[in-house]
Amino acid sequence: MTTTKTINLTLKVWRQQGPNVKGRLDTYPAKDISTDMSFLEMLDVINEQLTLEGKDPIAFDHDCREGICGMCGTMVNGRAHGPEKGTTLCQLHMRHFSDGDTVVIEPWRSMAFKVIKDLVVDRSAFDEIIQTGGYVSVNVGGAQDANAIPVPQEAAEKAMDAAACIGCGACVASCPNASAMLFVSAKVSQLALLPQGRPEAARRALAMVRKMDEKGFGNCSNEKECEAECPKEISIVNIARLNREFFKANIFSEIP
Ligand code: SF4
Ligand code: FES
């Protein structure tokens, strides 16, 4: 016995030919969509139809389709990655929609994330932030004994939780200030919590926050939308840690 069911939807999709042209919402019927499909598979079906009709398919970002890479993401009915908590768009299934629904699909909105085409935005600002400090500098050589640097269990767990950030940008898209604080705080925390990350902690916090400001992201005013919409459920406790790291670096470090 199969439980597969199909639904009919009306899609309103943001179409924009390029960064400097005006966009608009276009309407497409989505017929006989299996509720077992993922949201991206549903878009694949629509694109196949558009291609067969000789029309321009909808551009959208994706890669792993397993919730790991951070490439996918759009606003779905005003929610980043759609209605399911802790779920990336690629892992969202059509069973969460009902027959007859209208689904509005838009790209991330932020001054720092310019639309490239349709639902694809330029997130290279995140790459630039990582380039300024999201790493540890080590001399290569023989592998160290695993237990050579003791790490408290609690610190290791918190660092792993922060390292779950996939850099998707949903936090920016859902924040009224278009702040990147949740992303930056996760990337600072995953290193600051571990002994290996401490030598460059002050330099990292200063450089990443400065780059974040330079790229046009807003500041945090504790709206908590980022935490609510983050598909990896990154906690805003990391933002408090970033603020402490930045404060310490400003006041006590010798780093200019
Ligand atoms: S903090 Fe969450 S929402 Fe923001 S980039 Fe990382 S995974 Fe995405
Ligand atoms: S496509 Fe990789 S996280 Fe969605």
Ligand 1 centre from 182 Cα, in Å?
7
pLDDT tens per residue across span 83-129? 999 999 999 999 999 999 999 999 998 999 999 999 999 999 999 99
pLDDT at 27: 98
pLDDT at 2: 52
Identify the nearest ligand to the CA of 188 by its number: 1
Q: Is the CB of 62 under 6 A from ligand 2?
A: yes
Atom of ligand 2 nearest to the CA of 73: 4
Strand order in the sheet with 24-34: 24-34, 6-15, 102-106, 75-76, 79-80
pLDDT tens per residue across span 187-240? 999 999 999 999 999 999 999 999 999 999 999 999 999 999 999 999 999 999
